[in-house]
Amino acid sequence: MILPGVGAFGVAVDNLTRLDLVEVLKDIAQSGIPLLGICLGMQLLMRESAEFGNHRGLGIIEGDVVRIPEMMAGQRQLKVPQVGWNLREAELIRLLDRYRRDDGYYDCVVPGSGGKDSPYAAHVLKYKYGMHPLTVTWPPILYTDIGLKNFRNWIEVGGFDNVTFKPNGRAHRLLTRLSIENLLYPFQSFILGQKNLAPKIALKYDIPMVFYGENEAEYDNPLPDNEQSLRDKSYYTMECRGRLPWRRADQ
C-alpha cells in the first residue's frame, strides 16, 4: 500500500477522516501489509505534526513532525529549511573575487546550447556577480525550432558574446551514426564536443574558469565523477554502455 501526499498536514488528516480512511490505513499497518508513505504521506504516519498548528496523525509510527530549528550564521538568520546554499555561495563568491577582471576581458567560460542551466548560469554570473562570461557552443547535429530560438534568445536577448564551433558536418554525422550503432546513444558526439570545447577555448584565450550546467550525476553518471576533472577512459568506449540509459539489444 502506498500513501502519497502533497499539501498541508492538517488538511490531509481532515480529508482522510472525511473519507473514513484513517482506520483503514491503521488496519493495513497492523495486518503486516507493507505501507509506504511518500512525502506528506510519510508525515501522516507519524503521531503528530506542528505544521500550521498541532494536528494528530495516524500514529502508526512513534514520533512527531516538528519545525526545523532556526539557524544563524553569525548575526544573520538563515532561511529554513537550510541545505547549505549560503555557505556554498560564500565559497563561490571567494572564487569569483579571485578571478574577476576589471578590464572588460573574459574571466569565465560558460558552455551551452541554449537549453536551461547554462543560460541561467551565464545570466547569474554576469548580472548578479559582475563576471564577464564568454559563452561557447558546440551545436547539436540538428536544432529543433524551439531549441534554435532558445539559443538565439540566450545570446541576443541575454546579451552574451559567443563562440560557436560548427564541426565538420560529414564527420559529425558519421560520429553520430557510430554512436547510435555502437551505443544506442545519438548524443554521444554532441556531449563530447560540448564538454571538451569549453576547456580548449579557456586555454586558448587564457580564461581561468569554466562553469558547466547541470550535474551529470542527475543522469546516472557515477557520483565519484564529481570529485575529479579527468574522465575515465570508459566514457569514450563501448565500456560506457552500462553507464548510459540505453544499451544494445544484445547486451
251 within domain boundaries: no
As for how many domains the chain has, the answer is 3
Give the per-residue pLDDT at 235: 61
Q: What is the pLDDT of residues 98-154, one digit of tens each?
A: 999 999 899 999 999 887 789 999 999 999 999 999 999 998 888 889 989 999 999
Phi, psi of 213 (to 5 degrees): -90, -130
Other CB atoms closer than 10 Å to residue 221's CB: what's the count?
Answer: 16
Give the per-residue pLDDT at 83: 73
133 within domain boundaries: yes
Other CB atoms closer than 10 Å to residue 249's CB: what's the count?
Answer: 6
Give the per-residue pLDDT at 84: 77
Q: Tell me 19's DSSP state.
A: T
76 within domain boundaries: yes
215 within domain boundaries: yes
249 within domain boundaries: no
Which residue carries 574571466 as its cell? 107
Of 18, 46, 65, which residue is a domain's last? 65
User: Distance (Å, rounded) from C-alpha 37 to C-alpha 1?
Assistant: 9
Domain that holds residue 81: 68-99
In the chain, the N- to C-terminal Cα span, in Å, equals 34
Give the per-residue pLDDT at 242: 47
List the chain residues with pLDDT less than 50. Answer: 240-251
CB-CB contact of 59 with 47 (8 Å): yes
Of 56, 79, 99, which residue is a domain's last? 99
Give bridge partners of residue 108 from the DSSP assignment: 133
